[in-house]
Amino acid sequence: MSVSEQATVLPRGRNAARREVVYESQHRRLLAAMVEAVAEKSYARVAVADVIAGAGVSRKTFYEQFADKEDCFLAAYDAGVDALLVAIDRAVAGLAPDWLAGIETGIEVYLEMLAANPAFARTFHIEVLGAGEAALARRVAVHERFAAQLEAVHGALRDDIPEIRAVPTHTFRAAVGAVTELVTTRLLERGAESLPELAEAIVDIELALLVGRELAEQIRSA
C-alpha cells in the first residue's frame, strides 16, 4: 500500500465502522497528509495544523495517535520504506535462479514506486535530511537494510559464479550511497517522474562495485 493512498469514506451512525477501522483510516490519512505537506513546504515549515487539515481530522485525533510532528513524520517515513521493501521483495520473489533479473527487477520497482509517489520520493531522499537526529538515524538504518540486501545478492552470485571475489562489507554501503546520490540529484534536477530512466545506470553501478566492470560486462552479454 502506498503511503499516499487515500482512505475510503467510512459510514457513520448505526452502520459506523468499528473503532479500530476508523483508527486505521485516520492513521493512513495522517501519514499521507504528513508526506504531502513536507514535500510541499519542507519539514521545518510544516506545522501540525497543516497535517490535520490535509488529513481531515481533528487536532485531538492527531495527538491520540502521535506525540508530535516528529513522531508522525517518522511513522510516515517508516510506512513508506516498508511499502517500498515489500514491493521489491514481491517483485523479485521466484527470480532467485536468475540473479541478474532479480537485480534489474528490484531496481525497476524501486524507481517506479518513487516515480508514482513523488511526495514520498522527496520526503525519503531529501526532506529526511533536515528532520532531526532521529530521522537521520532512521535513514542510516534504512540504508543498512538495503546494503544487507545487496550483500545477500552478492553471496548468491559468488555461489553461482566462482570468479566473483569477496568484497569488504563497506562496499555494499558504498553502493547504496552511490545510488542514493544519483537518485537525489535526479529528483532535484528533473523530478520524480524521470527516475525510471536511471535504471540502467544503477544496474551498472551495482554490478561494477559488486562484481567488477569487466566481469559484469561478460556476465550480462552472456
3 state SS for the chain: CCCCCCCCCCCCHHHCCCHHHHHHHHHHHHHHHHHHHHHHHCHHHCCHHHHHHHHCCCHHHHHHHCCCHHHHHHHHHHHHHHHHHHHHHHHHCCCCCCHHHHHHHHHHHHHHHHHHCHHHHHHHHCHHHHCCHHHHHHHHHHHHHHHHHHHHHHHHHHHHCCCCCCCCHHHHHHHHHHHHHHHHHHHHHHCHHHHHHHHHHHHHHHHHHHCCHHHHHHHHHC
Render pLDDT for 106-147 as a digit per residue (tens, 0 to 9).
Answer: 899 999 999 999 999 999 999 999 999 999 999 999 999 889
Predicted confidence at residue 222, as pLDDT, reads 64
Render pLDDT for 174-204 as a digit per residue (tens, 0 to 9).
Answer: 999 999 999 999 999 999 999 999 999 998 8
CA distance linking residue 193 with residue 115, whole number of Å: 5
**10 to 17, 18, 26, 62: CA distances (angstroms):** 6, 10, 10, 18
Fold annotation for 69-221 = Tetracycline Repressor; domain 2 (1.10.357)
- Let me know the angle formed at the C-alpha of 84 by 161 and 72, rounded to the nearest 5 degrees: 145
What residue spans define the domains of the chain? 69-221
Predicted confidence at residue 103, as pLDDT, reads 82
Predicted confidence at residue 12, as pLDDT, reads 52
- Rounded mean pLDDT of 153-181? 85
Predicted confidence at residue 96, as pLDDT, reads 61
